[in-house]
Amino acid sequence: MRKLLVGLLVLLSAGLFAQESAVKGNVGGIVADTTGAVVPKAKVTLTGPTGNRTTMTDSQGRFMFDLLVPGFYALKAEQTGFKAVEVKQVEVLADRTLTVPITLQPGAITETVEVSATSAGVDSAATKLETNLNDTFYSQMPVARNVTGLFYAAAGVNEGGGTGSANPSIAGGSGLENQYMADGVNITDGAFGGIGVFSRNYGALATGINLSFVKEVDVKTGGYEPQYGKTTGGVVQIITKSGTDQFHGGISAFFGPQQFEVQHLNPDSSGRLNQEGVALHQGEWDVAAELGGPVPRTRGHLFFFGSFNPSWNRIYDQFAPLHGVSGFPALPNATIPQISYDYAAKLTYKLNDKHVIETSLFGDPTRETSNSPNGGPGGLTLTSFSNSTFSKIANGTRNWVLR
């Protein structure tokens, strides 16, 4: 019985470690002198978002820092008889090992040589094909105002057809053959295979993650690790932001009214008969606020992060004509408003350099709302938020992670 329990514990631990390593990154390298000879027992210090970690190079001059929160770090190598070398702006990506070679020059250890940039190393041990898209990327590129809009920046990702834009085709699979992970937790719809909540009638309804909470999106298109099952398409790993040892935050806003876009193309535009109506325009507005940092009086052990990102969307529809019905007036255009209260919160407790407890909660409760009886100009508002069983549409998802 004892052997059975030990074996079960080992199996569970292996699975948990695999998920943990998938949302963290590693930094390693070799410390050598100007002749190329390795430097053993050199002190290497890593400075990052939650403090410092220190290690010594082995007999081959190698060092490794594993299970790091994605972000920017600094490395400093020191050895007696050599100038200290500090490498800044080392960017750690999820599920990747960055190799940073460090060359020490003869001199006093009190002198420091600063290297302002380093080239990204190749993870030679990896067999997977993936694209890492972090917040540095999407803050500088025009992408859709949702986390699913980031997927299309990866190679091998295309429109999923009838599964909607939130569930793309990855590596040739259909839009409902992918697996979606958030901080190592599976958020794939168990019935249909879509991200978050998926409906046969309405498509993708909720993902649970607002864009301001996303630190990085890792899109795996092939050769991914064995812990990812139940998928014949791609694997999307979403890594959320964490608090750091410095207070940081921001406020942003976005608006894209329907007047800013051309009228959508629909099957009717090609002379086909439409029986269900068409979407003519879509308007989007949202604001975001986020704040993170250390919790006071915890001596650098407890960090927090939170964000709130409400969004207001309006879909401007045109009803299909009533074919074969005489004497019935044509229905006016309809304005369908929706509001989503996206929220996220995260706590990180650092026990020591090798043990960390993290917990996060995120969701996106969404509902259709009612405005003025006449809706937009020349149209009417479909009032779905009411006490009527047949007209109320409310959806969303809530996820809790403890690791």
Of the two residues 332 and 230, the one the predictor is more confident about is 230
Range among 140-154, 190-204, 246-260, 274-288 rated most confident: 246-260
In this predicted structure, what is the pLDDT of residue 387?
47
**CATH 2.170.130.10 domain span(s) along the chain:** 129-402
Percent of the chain surpassing pLDDT 70: 77
Mean pLDDT score of the chain, rounded to an integer?
79
Terminal-to-terminal C-alpha distance of the chain? 28
Of the two residues 129 and 75, the one the predictor is more confident about is 75
How many other CB atoms are there within 10 angstroms of residue 291's CB atom? 15
For the domain spanning 23-115, the CATH number is: 2.60.40.1120
What is the Cα gyration radius of the chain? 26
In this predicted structure, what is the pLDDT of residue 67?
86
Q: Which of 59-63, 113-117, 172-176, 205-209 has the lowest mean pLDDT?
A: 113-117
Q: Please give the C-alpha separations between residue 109 and each of 37, 55, 106, 112, 233, in angstroms, as whole numbers.
A: 18, 17, 9, 7, 52
* C-alpha–C-alpha distance, residues 156 and 172, integer Å: 8
pLDDT for 54-79, tens place per residue?
999 999 999 999 888 888 899 999 99
In this predicted structure, what is the pLDDT of residue 386?
47
> What's the token pair of residue 339?
């509001």
Q: Which of 156-165, 283-292, 311-320 has the lowest mean pLDDT?
A: 311-320
List, in sequence order, the alpha helices (H) in 275-352.
none
Range among 38-47, 328-337, 375-384 rated most confident: 38-47
Contact assessment for residue 218 and residue 132, using Cβ atoms and an 8 Å cutoff: yes
**In sequence order, which residues have a C-beta less than 8 Å from that of residue 256 and are 6 or more positions away?**
145, 283, 284, 285
Of the two residues 280 and 116, the one the predictor is more confident about is 280
Q: Which residue has the tokens 């699979």?
A: 173
* C-alpha–C-alpha distance, residues 296 and 304, integer Å: 10
pLDDT bucket at 38, cuts 50 / 70 / 90:
very high
In this predicted structure, what is the pLDDT of residue 243?
92
Of the two residues 260 and 327, the one the predictor is more confident about is 260
**CATH 2.60.40.1120 domain span(s) along the chain:** 23-115
Of the two residues 280 and 232, the one the predictor is more confident about is 232
Contact assessment for residue 41 and residue 63, using Cβ atoms and an 8 Å cutoff: no
Task: Find the mean pLDDT for residues 206-229.
Answer: 82
In this predicted structure, what is the pLDDT of residue 7?
57
Fold of the 129-402 domain: Ferric Hydroxamate Uptake Protein; Chain A, domain 1 (2.170.130)
Please determine, for residue 118, whether its predicted confidence score (pLDDT) is greater than 60: no
Global confidence as pTM: 0.75
